[in-house]
Amino acid sequence: MNNYKNKNAFIGKNNEELIRNSIADHPSVIQKLIDRFNIKGIFENTAGGGIYGDKSDVRINFTCGRYIDANIKSYRVGFNQLRRTTVSKFCDDFNLSPQQKDELEFLVVEKSKNTKNPLFPIEKQKNWGIFFRENAKDILKWGFSEKQNREILILYDMYASLVKIYHMKDVLQQLPTEIIFTKGGLNIGNCITFQRKGGNGSYSKNIPKTTIQHPGNHIQFKIKIAKLISNLEQFILAEYSI
């Protein structure tokens, strides 16, 4: 599991560096960014976001002092993780009551005991549906762009070596937010899922799988990449091949 995580982190960093180095070779893409964000300077350089405390994936700098931070999602097919966290942290971030936190932790642990059962039983769907409907827009913003400086979303297709760039405001405005409960958890619109993380916890054998402390009992939001791209087809800001 640790090797898998390390491999994914390595791939992610490589892809961030690939985009950081390649975007400078496409002046038409830079110009589209300058025009869309009304930037007065000219392109200066790109930098790895990790050198900044707020850690964007890539920062595009201009001579006027303006910069654009990017959130990069590399993908192949299927699902891509948007955000993973503990139930406690999620509840803190969205100001859920102690009673709601206890209930969500209980539901997640119950799901770990029998994954064939729905995360949200029918009798719990009304109240949790209200919460997710009222907070859907904020949850999407929290997932895609928690920091306000994340002004663009970059999707990188590793198979096709294709980079697609979107204005983050377009992403957050255009994504659908209807709530549909599923056995795994729920869907926000047609491309974001909320679920218990799951996993066998082979490197957490000292933590019981049926306790909230087990990493498999974290929660996660995932992206259906094909659906996301379809939703944003009309709003692509720029694209290029590597």
User: What is the per-residue pLDDT across 153-185, written as a single tens digit (0 to 9) for each?
Assistant: 999 999 999 999 999 999 999 999 999 999 999
Tell me, yes or no, whether 112 and 211 share the same domain. Answer: yes
Instruction: Check whether 198 has a pLDDT greater than 50.
Output: yes
Tell me, yes or no, whether 83 and 71 share the same domain. Answer: no
Domain-embedded: residue 229: no
* Sign for the pseudo-dihedral over CA of 26, 27, 32, 38: positive
More confidently predicted of 145 and 66: 66
Question: For 37-41, 71-75, 115-119, which range has the lowest pLDDT when averaged over its residues?
Answer: 71-75
Say how far apart CA 71 and CA 56 lie, in whole Å: 6
What is the per-residue pLDDT for 59? 94
More confidently predicted of 57 and 49: 57
Tell me, yes or no, whether 106 and 65 share the same domain. Answer: no
% of the chain residues with pLDDT over 70: 89
**Cα angle: 150, vertex 62, 155; to 5 degrees:** 40
Question: DSSP E strands: which ranges in 5-53?
Answer: 43-48
Structural domain including 106 reads: 79-145+176-224
Say how far apart CA 85 and CA 77 lie, in whole Å: 23
pLDDT, tens digit, 9 for 90 and up, residues 85-102: 999 999 999 999 999 999
Element (H, E) at 153: strand 150-157
Instruction: Check whether 14 has a pLDDT greater than 90.
Output: no
11-38 mean pLDDT: 90
Q: Which of 147-156, 172-181, 201-210 has the highest mean pLDDT?
A: 172-181
Alpha-carbon separation of residue 146 from 15, 93, 162, 188, 223 (angstroms): 21, 11, 25, 17, 16
pLDDT band at 219 (very low <50, low <70, confident <90, very high): very high
Ramachandran class of 150: left when φ > 0, alpha when ψ lies in -120 to 50, beta otherwise: beta
Tell me, yes or no, whether 14 and 121 share the same domain. Answer: no
Q: How far is CA 87 from the centre of its chain?
A: 16
The residues near 95 (Cβ < 8 Å, ≥ 6 apart) are none
pLDDT band at 4 (very low <50, low <70, confident <90, very high): very low
Model pTM?
0.86
Domain-embedded: residue 84: yes
Q: In residues, how long is the chain?
A: 242
User: Total domain count for the chain?
Assistant: 2
194-222 mean pLDDT: 87
What is the per-residue pLDDT for 103? 98
What is the per-residue pLDDT for 203? 63
Tell me, yes or no, whether 51 and 64 share the same domain. Answer: yes
64-89 mean pLDDT: 91
* Sign for the pseudo-dihedral over CA of 32, 36, 37, 38: positive
Tell me, yes or no, whether 180 and 167 share the same domain. Answer: no
pLDDT band at 10 (very low <50, low <70, confident <90, very high): very low
Tell me, yes or no, whether 8 and 65 share the same domain. Answer: yes
Alpha-carbon separation of residue 3 from 6, 115, 158 (angstroms): 5, 26, 20
Tell me, yes or no, whether 22 and 124 share the same domain. Answer: no
What is the per-residue pLDDT for 38? 97
Say how far apart CA 37 and CA 151 lie, in whole Å: 9
